[in-house]
A and B are shown apart, each in its own frame.
Chain A
């Protein structure tokens, strides 16, 4: 039975709307002695593992479910592209250097590997699209805030240059245009190798975004390692001196940038050390050191040693890219890496606003 009714004259006995009295009690007794107790029961402790740089290891989550949606990118397509794009980009720089200093075998091998790698990259990128037939929609706009848009245009300029450099070298035609294409590919190559780091970092994925300062150096170092490995594997001992030096340069740059990144990331570096990503990153480091050492010790004397060292360096670069990729997935899957650093930032901001030292409790 209700007191309101709808008739010809409209609604009668209507009850007025009002705000819901959520939390209102029968009286005010008991408010003081109960306060806000019992709030921490659903918290769970941070997992055991590396020493946490962030003191607040405790965090709350919604049934442990991730805050972020997992990247839909396929590892083979996208991490594979990171590797191949780097190999192509840095390879073009080495090819131009080899050509300029009278190392034709190395130059030709690297031009061919760059063309092959960038072709496979493009195929991988298109394959990864949910609607591959709509690939050309990438060329509707140019958007500096989208590294993928920037990269698409970059590839549109780089791939023809790398292709012309390789085809004209092998065909032996139009040497002047061939040299211009080689130079153009060498100038665009480092950008192709570096922008993929921004592609990964410009996301909400903690292990990628928080490493946005070091990740470009990790990627270009890894690209140099891969290209130097390809040069070692494909050129005669008489020509491969610069490849050995480039391998050392790339290995130092990559390994140093990874160490710096892991140090600066604090607890967000955990995904780079644990699980599948951790295994890949350790394997990458081992292969990088072994490949560079092999190249320095025996690469200039033995063709076989140079080839084996080169293969190790190529594998190392691939492991780094897959390692970084899987670390990102792991950091997106665990709400800890999203919530804890953000809480810490809020705590710091509150402490700064209060003007005192950081408080222990939020």
Chain B
């Protein structure tokens, strides 16, 4: 652990948040999620696995009518949330209006699913060229959202009981036996992740499966993800992998692929759980450039001090101006 003296721990890059939180020099490397939304198929296996493993209660069976997304957003009882977005936009060079009328499906079925990988670059059925007219442009974005386990976690900074803490893995976890439900972390989170469970009073959020990590396992959502859209591992490795994936997608014509939350220089010092997105973050319900609120805390305390001094001085001046009452009036 390097010295904490003279460093700004409220904002900016911080290479070792677990070490700075007091975990010894032999603590495990910081781990996290890389969620590659380009391969998400919206199966919601992550949502189900998370609920099952963490024994999260049912939180209403509502139909939103807006999409397949009836989960709506992260909260006390939703620690993984799959967003669904339909757009009238092409996805790279993918062509939606391909004419399959001449394809002999029985012949294809006889070949089975064992299409040689070289021929399977696009689809096992690889039909003829697309018709120039019947082309439609549609893409369906799906993304599994989760707690970002920020380097500078506002929820942790503002917790008055110490219930939220930084684990040896660099993740942020609520101690359910300490939380007294003050609710301060809820509006502090710039991503709208943590929330209060109404009938319970305490706050809950993703623990990055702290219990599974301790046993050498990977988090339930990553384990259940059938397409490896959710990848778990040491953060350094995930960042390398993500950079390579973005390059690959750009080369493949998906020019709007970009990483979200991976930069240690962003407003929260980088996310422990970051994403590869195919559109602007706000399309997925994510804030485009969040900043940890405690970055501005020194300025807030200074202004509050000035305001308190103003009142103390102002009222003292008022009494000085009016002077003491004559004793006779008593």
- Residues of A whose CB lies within 8 Å of any CB of B are 1-3, 13, 15-16, 18-28, 30-31, 34, 36-39, 41-42, 59-63, 65-73, 90, 93-94, 97-98, 100-104, 128-132, 134-135, 137-138, 140-141, 143, 145-149, 152, 186-187, 190-191, 193-195, 197-198, 201-205, 208-209, 212-217, 219-221, 223-224, 238-239, 241-242, 245-246, 249, 253, 328, 332, 335, 338-339, 342-343, 345-346
Contact = CB atoms under 8 A, between A and B. Distances in A.
B190 A23 contact: no
Contacts of A131: 179-181, 201-202
Contacts of B315: 90, 93-94, 97, 224, 242, 246, 249
Nearest to A78: B183
Interface stretch (B14-22, B52-60, B166-174, B192-200): B192-200
B324 A72 contact: no
A24 B307 contact: no
A34 B137 contact: yes
B105 interface: no
B251 to A, nearest CB: 10
A197 B299 CA distance: 12
A21 B122 contact: yes
Given A97-B315, A140-B178, A204 B306 contact: no
10 contacts: A3-B114, A41-B88, A60-B283, A65-B285, A98-B319, A138-B180, A143-B159, A203-B187, A203-B293, A245-B321
Contacts of A197: 300, 303-304, 307
A249 B180 contact: no
B309 interface: yes
B162 A140 contact: yes
B300 A72 contact: no
B310 A22 contact: no
Contacts of B222: none
B134 interface: no
Interchain residue pairs A-B with the least CB separation, the first 5: A130-B181, A23-B92, A130-B201, A25-B93, A62-B285
A352 to B, nearest CB: 14
B282 A62 contact: yes
A41 B245 CA distance: 28
B190 A204 contact: yes
A176 B89 CA distance: 78
B249 A23 contact: yes
A93 B321 contact: no
Nearest to A236: B329
Interface of B: 10, 38-39, 64, 66-67, 69, 72-75, 83, 85, 87-95, 98, 112-114, 117, 121-122, 126, 129-130, 135, 137, 154, 157-163, 178-184, 186-196, 200-203, 227, 245, 248-249, 252-256, 279-280, 282-290, 293-294, 296-297, 299-301, 303-312, 314-316, 318-319, 321-327, 329-330
B191 A145 contact: no
Contact of A138 (B154, B157, B160, B203): B160
Contacts of A15: 114, 117
Nearest to B86: A42
**Majority secondary structure, B binding face:** loop
A62 B129 CA distance: 35
Given A26-B130, A145-B158, A219 B307 contact: yes
B117 A16 contact: yes
A21 B67 contact: no
Contacts of B324: 100-102
A205 B85 CA distance: 26
A199 to B, nearest CB: 8
A25 B181 contact: no
Contacts of A201: 293, 296, 300
B112 A2 contact: yes
Contact of A69 (B75, B89, B162): B75
A30 B85 CA distance: 24
A61 to B, nearest CB: 6
B254 A204 contact: no
A343 B287 CA distance: 9
Contacts of B282: 59-62, 67, 335, 339, 343
Given A36-B256, A216-B306, A220-B310, 12 more contacts: A22-B254, A28-B253, A36-B255, A65-B72, A68-B187, A72-B195, A101-B323, A147-B300, A187-B312, A197-B300, A202-B188, A338-B287
B14 to A, nearest CB: 14
Contacts of A138: 160-161, 180, 182
Nearest to A208: B187
Contacts of A148: 158, 160, 182, 184
A187 B312 CA distance: 8
A191 B72 CA distance: 41
A312 to B, nearest CB: 19
A212 B299 contact: yes
Contact of A216 (B85, B256, B307): B307
B249 to A, nearest CB: 6
Contact of A202 (B89, B294, B319): B294
A113 to B, nearest CB: 15
A201 B89 CA distance: 40
B180 A22 contact: no
Contact of A67 (B179, B192, B294, B296): B192
B252 A23 contact: yes
Given A148-B182, A224-B311, A249-B318, A22 B114 contact: no
Contacts of B98: 26
Given A67-B286, A101-B319, A253-B314, A62 B85 contact: yes
B186 A69 contact: yes
Contacts of A62: 83, 85, 282-285
Nearest to A192: B308
B180 A69 contact: no
A330 B116 CA distance: 56
A274 B279 CA distance: 32
A288 B112 CA distance: 80
A249 B293 contact: no
B312 A93 contact: yes
A21 B299 contact: no
